[in-house]
Structure 1
Amino acid sequence: MSSQESILDLILKEEKNITNKQKKILIAAIEAFSDKGYAATSTNEIAKKAGVAEGTIFRHYKTKKDLLTAILTPLVHTLIAPFIVKDFFRKVLDLSYNTFEEFIRAIVYNRLEFLKKNQALFKILIQEIPFHEDLRELFKEQIAKKIFKRMEELVDSFKAKGEIIDIPTYSSIRLTVTSIFGYFIARYILLPEAKWNDEEEIETTIQFILYGLTPRK
């Protein structure tokens, strides 16, 4: 993925047999689902955004759920999963760190760059995965388990060096990841219109993780 490409760019490149109308439908659906959520978006709205008849959507996708699945399943399985896993390992997880703080900063800034390029798709994933078991299982199998295994190794190494407190490794990872993504969700989904001082908020999040997980002197 080049610095200018988003995951949507890659979807449209990878789908060799997709028609121009299908491209318009997918782009319109991503925009609508991201803005209003899956449940509140009608196929009629998507058709208007795409500049096609509503019947055209149903010729390609039998139901609105099929349209969502057409966006998210290949997205997670063939594009997001390989890219996230490969990119995250290459830029973060496969590197060595002298301190736990260096590791946390690498995670925050790497994922921030990724999410800025893919805000709409990130919003759909966060909004819809809790309500669709098939997508949730796909995400866990393709992404979460692979990344979690390597994070376990790194967290255990920091724990052995006395960099973080001696609590279960799973708990350390959960607290770290939820703190980081809690900021991202508030920043880009819940309150994007707020006047954010990103540098200050990122630093506060990092310090919260560090002081919450480092041993007391």
Structure 2
Amino acid sequence: MPATIQPFTNQPIFAALTTKQRAILAAAIDVFAEKGYANSSTHEIAKRAGVAEGNIFSKFGSKAGLLQAIIDPVVETIFPTTMDRLAAAQLQKPAATLTGFITALVMARVKFFANNAAVVKVFLGEVIYSNDIRQRLLANLPERYWRAVHSELEHLRTTNQIVAWSDQAILRLIWSLVGGTLVSTLYFNQPLADGDVQRLITALIKALTPSKEA
């Protein structure tokens, strides 16, 4: 099983799967990420997993069922849990600074990406075209995450460390720049170096720092 896929299939949500079923899921992630969902076949997935094609249908029903078995855990459990841990560990500290806030958000996404690169590529291939998946993802982000983010942003606005924009506008900018950087590493085969991450953090801090004239 590829090292970049194992952290995903080792999630507790997959504990009930057999070794063979995990191999199928890992192979599906690998093939979908490599060729795209539309250009993949259950025959190739079964071959890469080292199982009979019938094993796919007996557990997952179809190629679409395999895709759903990858997407649903990300939307329902894995990403929300990651964001909840971020809120608990990094976003509930007093005397927040803009640098600390941006660094925590960026590094959480970079770490998630590094541990789930192939899964993220499959997920992005679907979320771009599916408003339903996007809405489910937002709806499943834990309340503690939203409260912590709002509290941090309110503190930063009150202390004039960040531009006086709405939470939504600030998060849209952050997610756009972070997402664009991560997508480029996936689809243009550009490795994400430490320097790239630091430049991203620096660019966000610069974009969100109030101008001296304000």
Q: Same fold (TM over 0.5)?
A: yes
Give a deviation string over 1:75-134, Cα, whole Å, max 9, x none.
Answer: 43233322x133211232223344211211122223322321211112122221233454
What letter matches 1:157 in structure 2? Answer: H
Distance in 2 (alpha carbons) for counterparts of 1:195 and 1:68: 26
Moved more, 143-152 or 155-164: 143-152
Give a deviation string over 1:143-172, Cα, whole Å, max 9, x none.
Answer: 277634432221122111111122223111
Q: Determine helix, strand or coil for the equivalent of 1:207.
A: helix
Counterparts of 1:141-180 in structure 2 under 5 Å? 141-143=139-141, 147-180=145-178
Match of 1:86 among 84, 87, 101: 84
What letter matches 1:46 in structure 2? Answer: I
> What TM-score results when the alignment is normalised by the length of structure 1?
0.83
* Matching of residue 57 in structure 1 with residue 52 in structure 2: no
Aligned length: 207
Q: Go from structure 1 to structure 2 and tell me whether the alpha carbon gap of 1:175 and 1:134 turns closer, same or farther (over 3 Å shift).
A: closer
Alignment-derived partner of residue 8 in structure 1 = 9
Q: Determine helix, strand or coil for the equivalent of 2:141.
A: helix
Match of 1:201 among 190, 196, 201: 196
Distance in 1 (alpha carbons) for counterparts of 2:91 and 2:209: 20
Q: Go from structure 1 to structure 2 and tell me whether the alpha carbon gap of 1:205 and 1:19 turns closer, same or farther (over 3 Å shift).
A: closer
What letter matches 2:166 in structure 1? Answer: P
Q: Go from structure 1 to structure 2 and tell me whether the alpha carbon gap of 1:115 and 1:44 turns closer, same or farther (over 3 Å shift).
A: same
Alignment-derived partner of residue 29 in structure 1 = 28
Match of 1:190 among 176, 187, 190: 187
User: 5+ residue gaps in structure 2?
Assistant: 1-5
C-alpha contact 2:24 2:49 (8 A) present in aligned 1: yes
> What TM-score results when the alignment is normalised by the length of structure 2?
0.84
C-alpha contact 2:97 2:161 (8 A) present in aligned 1: yes
C-alpha contact 1:179 1:205 (8 A) present in aligned 2: yes
Q: CA deviation at 1:63?
A: 2.1
Q: Determine helix, strand or coil for the equivalent of 2:145.
A: helix
Counterparts of 1:70-85 in structure 2 under 5 Å? 70-82=69-81, 84-85=82-83
Distance in 1 (alpha carbons) for counterparts of 2:126 and 2:32: 9
Q: Determine helix, strand or coil for the equivalent of 1:178.
A: helix
Q: Go from structure 1 to structure 2 and tell me whether the alpha carbon gap of 1:20 and 1:212 turns closer, same or farther (over 3 Å shift).
A: closer
* Matching of residue 214 in structure 1 with residue 213 in structure 2: no
User: 5+ residue gaps in structure 1?
Assistant: none
Q: Go from structure 1 to structure 2 and tell me whether the alpha carbon gap of 1:178 and 1:50 turns closer, same or farther (over 3 Å shift).
A: same
Match of 1:117 among 97, 115, 118: 115
C-alpha contact 2:127 2:134 (8 A) present in aligned 1: yes
Q: Go from structure 1 to structure 2 and tell me whether the alpha carbon gap of 1:122 and 1:146 turns closer, same or farther (over 3 Å shift).
A: farther
What letter matches 1:154 in structure 2? Answer: E
For the aligned residues, what is the CA RMSD? Answer: 2.4
What letter matches 1:49 in structure 2? Answer: R
Distance in 1 (alpha carbons) for counterparts of 2:21 and 2:156: 48
